[in-house]
Structure 1
């Protein structure tokens, strides 16, 4: 069973089963959240809701397992153990581990594909070791929990941009993920009405190399998808560049007055892939 990682991932509180299918229909994947989105007194009910939407034999879920992520409570907690007991009775095998801080925590999730959510100082510092674990498929970073773990009060400046420590952490998680060939997921944008700000941040995520961005409201999904979808002209130019490279042979060459080398060709290939097409072989 291969998990499908699209550009827009949508969180859904696990104690709101009436929202499950709506969230799955809106986004590329739904994240059933057993952690921050659920009050402590409602966590057992949330686990029950996940089980209740399975078929009579527990193997016919309403949600597609290949497009469903379950966010677990932090490792070492009693709630984490209860989450695992719940998942043992489901077909869901892609999990997001909240507040991942070390490789040993993901090693304990053998049999699951793990999205390691690095949202504490320890998680950021240990991101490379976490990314190196075979069952880790992606790394995500979390801004607000990170600043809370540092004793801070806000991840953003008054102008809406990230503070330096948040930007450093964002880059550190991206670099760690890509260094080990794993996917990288950008943090949520908590100012829900500010779709323009979300669009700008999503475009930066695309340009920087993040494969996905997490959303906390259905209205954010289309904005993220638009940022990840290249324009028709961008796809045409990328394919023209790749065809020119195939004709030019090896080495550096010029295309429309600009120097083109290996990294530029990879940028073009990434643009075509985001369009859903197969890139033309450049070399």
Structure 2
């Protein structure tokens, strides 16, 4: 069993968050097979209202199987939004001892995160788990959520491990047709990045790329996303996992970061805290950025 810091580190380092509807047994069974850093059994958007009970039962049975218990991936369940009234029902039925994180959609206020934190703390006590054992991954995907980020992030519960920018729901609320790198999403996405950093969280996940057969478009969109400071992606189709994880791993950039860290630490040992590296001036802030990148990849 991993420790809480180890679990949080795994969530922070995840590059692909692969979803499957919890009521579709074939998809649920195969979900751990695609190599995603994190897998999500979905109780929300991908599940018809009439299938809600079947989906909850699917979560419990799947997480108890060796495929999930022994999975290297971060194991998550997305509940319904807390404000819908369905989120509390979903949460009460979760086998929290078999989970790494709960994904919460449509987060709009700090108050709902406090309620979710309390509910999870109670579930942990009943299961004999250490407080904070189950992390929270929070989807910010509405206009109210984006504009509420200062309040949401001002005093996050300690179990909040990462934010996600929900671009699909966000464009739908704006009445804008989703398309890659849509100008309508730029400001909102950047705000999620900024508030994540200000709250001391790892860089957020970007939302899904909905054209599931356009691998080249996904790659370009992930590269743009990475340039804006996001380091992971919601994936809604298994073939997207390898593309997303490849871009966000960015091996060439990672090698550069490792060499920079080595060079700067050598200079520190010689009493200098500023160097030129590959023609670029490097001091502590640049070094710390490279060191975080190396740590995420470890």
TM-score by length of 2: 0.80
Distance 1:19 1:174 in 2: 31
Q: Superposition RMSD on alpha carbons, in Å?
A: 2.4
Kept in 2, the 8 Å contact 1:229–1:274? The answer is no
What does residue 82 of structure 1 align with?
89
105-114 or 213-222, larger mean C-alpha shift: 105-114
Q: Call closer, same or farther: CA 1:271–1:230 in 2, change over 3 Å.
A: farther
Q: Deviations over 1:112-171 (max 9, x none)?
A: 422111111111111233233123211111112112323x13243xxx3312x3111101
What does residue 43 of structure 1 align with?
52
Residues 1:23 and 2:31 aligned together: yes
Kindly state the Cα deviation for residue 236 of structure 1 after the two structures are TM-superposed.
4.4
SS in 2 for 1:19: helix
36-45 or 255-264, larger mean C-alpha shift: 255-264
Q: Call closer, same or farther: CA 1:42–1:130 in 2, change over 3 Å.
A: same
What does residue 226 of structure 1 align with?
246
Residues 1:239 and 2:258 aligned together: yes
Distance 1:213 1:54 in 2: 23
5 Å-filtered alignment, 1:64-75, equals 64=69, 67-75=74-82
Structure 1, unpaired ranges of 5+:
277-283
5 Å-filtered alignment, 1:2-13, equals 2=4, 3=7, 4-5=10-11, 6-13=14-21
What does residue 139 of structure 1 align with?
163
SS in 1 for 2:263: helix
127-136 or 87-96, larger mean C-alpha shift: 87-96
Distance 2:22 2:83 in 1: 20
Moved over 6 A (4+): none
Distance 2:245 2:31 in 1: 15
What does residue 281 of structure 2 align with?
259
Q: Call closer, same or farther: CA 1:136–1:271 in 2, change over 3 Å.
A: closer
What does residue 107 of structure 2 align with?
100
SS in 1 for 2:209: coil
* Larger RCO (CA under 8 A, 6+ residues apart): 2
* Larger helix proportion of the pair: 2
Kindly state the Cα deviation for residue 109 of structure 1 after the two structures are TM-superposed.
1.3
What does residue 150 of structure 2 align with?
128
Q: Call closer, same or farther: CA 1:61–1:86 in 2, change over 3 Å.
A: farther
Q: Deviations over 1:78-105 (max 9, x none)?
A: 4223202211576325111111110111
Q: Call closer, same or farther: CA 1:99–1:235 in 2, change over 3 Å.
A: closer
Residues 1:199 and 2:219 aligned together: yes
Structure 2, unpaired ranges of 5+:
122-133
TM-score by length of 1: 0.84
Distance 2:51 2:248 in 1: 35
SS in 1 for 2:82: coil
Between the two proteins, the alignment pairs up a number of residues equal to 266
Q: Call closer, same or farther: CA 1:113–1:275 in 2, change over 3 Å.
A: closer
